[in-house]
Structure 1
Amino acid sequence: METAPILRRLAPDLGAPPIPAPWYAEIPAIAQVLREGWDLSAATVLVGDNGTGKSTLVEACALASGTGPEGGSRGSGFSTRPSESDLWRRLVVERRAGAPRRAFFLRAETAHSFYTYLEDNPGARPEPVFHEMSHGESFLALVGERMRRPGLYLLDEPESALSFHGCLALLARLHTLMASGSQVILSTHSPVLAALPGARIWELGEWGMRPCAWEDLDLVRGWRGFLDEPARYLRQVLDGA
């Protein structure tokens, strides 16, 4: 039986003061959430092309859960340059009663700076020196260190550091977390990570956002087509260059 999600729903805050033309309201998926709200599952995967709002939505979930916008645990003071939207302030978060408060946000684009923050602010328990590892090794080590107990785990495009086998290792770890009662919210361009068992997949695009089966995703169809006949894809790209 699927565990009830820690974050059940993001609903529009009808009492929030209006903001003149916020940039994110022009993104169809985010405009849809601001109109209709968004029901979350024990595992939620967001896929879509660049600029469709995946990272902005994961960031809003992270901020609503008390993590920093650039990554870290609840209450983390890590920040390099404030650039996050105020989308989370336009939403009302519905949490499961009695749910774990633990939360951790892994954001690929700020991971290098986050490692420096950890070195400068060591905890009571020694941690690996992430800067001394390869990019992919450090991601998997961070997941192993910070994603242990039941909680809410948010990941923004973690495949940027991972090989095929690294993606499989992360997939296995996320599946174990789900079995322990954790909730996972993940944005990705990887068909491997999008195949997380038990996850509800949302495809984002010019239509907004819609649930979609893995095999019907544009992401999966595109990769299948390329791997089946790369020369045809390359001809189209190189002839148009």
Structure 2
Amino acid sequence: MESLPYLKEIELKRKTIDSFHVYPFSIPAVKELDFLEFDKEVTIFVGENGSGKSTLLEAIAVGLGFNAEGGSKNFHFGTRSTHSELHNYLRFSKSFKRYKDGFFLRAESFYNVATNIDELDEAAFPYIDPPAIKDSYGGKSLHHQSHGESFLSLMIQRFSGDGLYILDEPEAALSPTRQLAILSRMHQLVTQRSQFIMATHSPILMAYPGAKIYQIDKSGLYPIKYQDTEHYEVTKAFLNNPEPMLKELFSEE
């Protein structure tokens, strides 16, 4: 797709780092990082908890100007300051064409984004009737929707194309059926000149056709085929024949 992806590459400025024995430089996602290419419309990070997927994704988002807790570049709230300084050590290579829309979705702090939207609408109420922000998220407060419904509203109502969308474990509140709906919406947005960068544990979401998948483990960060991911292998083995695995898991020995 011409002029895409918007984010083409990141580089860790290794010479500016004093020690790789302290957080966040000690985690696998960073310790062996040099260059990382984003040469597909969809890039996915996979790995165990603690491997650094979210830390790396957060650094990319913050380095590009998004709020550390999530939202678009127009969100400036902060309920806690716990994000790392990793973004200060990344060099970004971007396309000549800028994206028109963008959003950083963090499943763990999406509640805070929803609260900030309500607060902004309430503050604007005497001057803007009806409040305008929630109209971009389905027309009602995200707190008045289930977690899964609010995620879908974000993807369907708020994301408008020509965008860069950074998603941290979006499957957290979604059933398998709704994960399939997210895949469909992602495809629609990709055909509308959008780029996705995502961290996920979901074998459904990481099945996006043609996605670039990076595995993060103790050896570092490297490309991997979908069928070679542990998520795919374990899920397939379990669904094809669950009894032996359950027997082993429930064994008292």
TM-score scaled to structure 2, two decimals?
0.88
Distance 1:177 1:53 in 2: 27
Corresponding residue number in structure 1 for 2:86: 87
1:124 aligns with 2:132: yes
SS at match of 1:26: coil
User: What are structure 1's unaligned runs of at least 5 residues?
Assistant: none
Q: CA deviation at 1:19?
A: 5.8
Task: State the identity as a percent.
Answer: 36
Q: CA deviation at 1:215?
A: 1.0
Q: Quick one: which amino acid aligns to residue 76 of structure 1? A: F
Structure index of larger Rg: 2
Corresponding residue number in structure 2 for 1:112: 111
Deviation >4 Å, runs of 4+: none
1:168 to 156, 174, 180: 180
Corresponding residue number in structure 2 for 1:28: 28
2:238 to 210, 226, 233: 226
- What do residues 200-227 of structure 1 show as CA deviations (whole Å, max 9, x unaligned)? 0111111211111111111100101111
1:193 aligns with 2:205: yes
Corresponding residue number in structure 2 for 1:40: 38
Paired residues of 1:65 and 1:103 also in contact (CA < 8 A): no
TM-score scaled to structure 1, two decimals?
0.92
Q: CA deviation at 1:128?
A: 2.3
Q: CA deviation at 1:184?
A: 0.3
- What do residues 180-215 of structure 1 show as CA deviations (whole Å, max 9, x unaligned)? 111100111111100112210111111211111111
Corresponding residue number in structure 1 for 2:169: 157
User: What are structure 2's unaligned runs of at least 5 residues?
Assistant: 122-130
Do the aligned partners of residues 240 and 64 (structure 1) sit closer, same or farther apart at CA in structure 2, a change above 3 Å counting?
A: farther
Paired residues of 1:66 and 1:75 also in contact (CA < 8 A): no
Distance 2:51 2:17 in 1: 25
After alignment, is 51-60 or 125-134 more displaced?
A: 125-134
1:204 aligns with 2:199: no
Corresponding residue number in structure 2 for 1:65: 64
Paired residues of 2:164 and 2:196 also in contact (CA < 8 A): yes
SS at match of 1:78: coil
